[in-house]
Amino acid sequence: MTDKLQITDSHCHLDFPDFDGQHAEIVARAVDAGVSRMVTICTKLKNEPAVRAIAEAHAPVFYAAGTHPMSVASEPLASVDKLITIAQHPKLVGIGETGLDYHYTADTAEIQQTSLRVHIEAARATGLPLIIHARDADADMARILTEEYRQGAFTCVMHCFSSSADLARTALDLGFYLSMSGITAFPKSSELRDIFAAAPLDRILVETDAPYLAPPPYRGKRNEPAYVTHTAQRGADTMGISYGAFAAHTQANFDRLFSKAANYQAPA
């Protein structure tokens, strides 16, 4: 156990090859740093069993599952029924990541949008939060989220948020959450920090997106859940509050959004 202030890494990818054979050490370092929970994200449904196994093997680890927008053209289209079935696992706490990415894969925009709507329907049906990846697709993302919300409410986090202030406002107006990644700690990310500074403190989460986007002083190296504390410190500075206050707020926010994780009770 650790006496450090507790915080949650709301988005990482522990099944990626960068961490092969090191899960126990990675989780132990995170816990030692005060990271009480990690949500590892399945980006291709064929990999769900492997991601589930990591969550089952490590008490602080939960998981989510979906089809990443950059993979939808090469993977079978997810079905609502499949996502609902997967969601029955006690440590499956979110739907996704899903979303739109037009940076490298604009040519698959149509199927990305179809996949996104499937995931939204599953989030509604399960009551689990939707985990959104958005890059260079702000107008379509705002439109689809708004259209779908009018058809029926759902909860959502804009993971690794680095989009426009307009998309941030749309998400916040719908009651969604914004998640801070290591990008917010980069020296040239002042405009992004301004977006977070203007957001309600009760709608902020923090994440690593490990193995990517390591914050300073680890920028350019492999990221891991323990490093979420560095992003959180920059988040506290951005919000003008202490690290302890920021950690407490983000813990409460995570518990509110990811209520299945907050209410999880390990088998006796």
* Each residue's pLDDT tens digit, 45-57: 999 999 999 999 9
pLDDT recorded at residue 30: 98
250 sits in the region (left: phi over 0; alpha: psi -120 to 50; else beta) called alpha
pLDDT recorded at residue 263: 97
Res. 218: pLDDT tops 60: yes
**Tens of pLDDT, residues 120-137:** 999 999 999 999 999 999
Res. 220: pLDDT tops 70: yes
Q: Which CATH number describes the domain made up of 7-260?
A: 3.20.20.140
Average pLDDT over every residue of 155-174: 98
pLDDT recorded at residue 65: 98
> What is the distance, to the nearest Å, from the Cα of residue 30 to the centroid of all Cα atoms in its chain?
17
Average pLDDT over every residue of 152-164: 98
Separation of alpha carbons 256 and 258, rounded Å = 6
Res. 27: pLDDT tops 70: yes
pLDDT confidence tier of residue 108, bands split at 50, 70 and 90: very high
Average pLDDT over every residue of 25-37: 98
Residue of 96, 100, 95, 129 lying closest to 113 (CA atoms): 100
pLDDT confidence tier of residue 268, bands split at 50, 70 and 90: confident
CB 15 within 8 A of CB 259: no
Average pLDDT over every residue of 97-111: 97
pLDDT recorded at residue 1: 38
Res. 2: pLDDT tops 60: no
Q: Residue ranges of the alpha helices (H) in 152-222? A: 165-173, 190-197
Res. 3: pLDDT tops 80: no
CB 202 within 8 A of CB 5: no
Q: Rounded to two decimals, what is the model's pTM?
A: 0.97
CB 146 within 8 A of CB 174: yes
pLDDT recorded at residue 267: 85
Separation of alpha carbons 211 and 13, rounded Å = 7
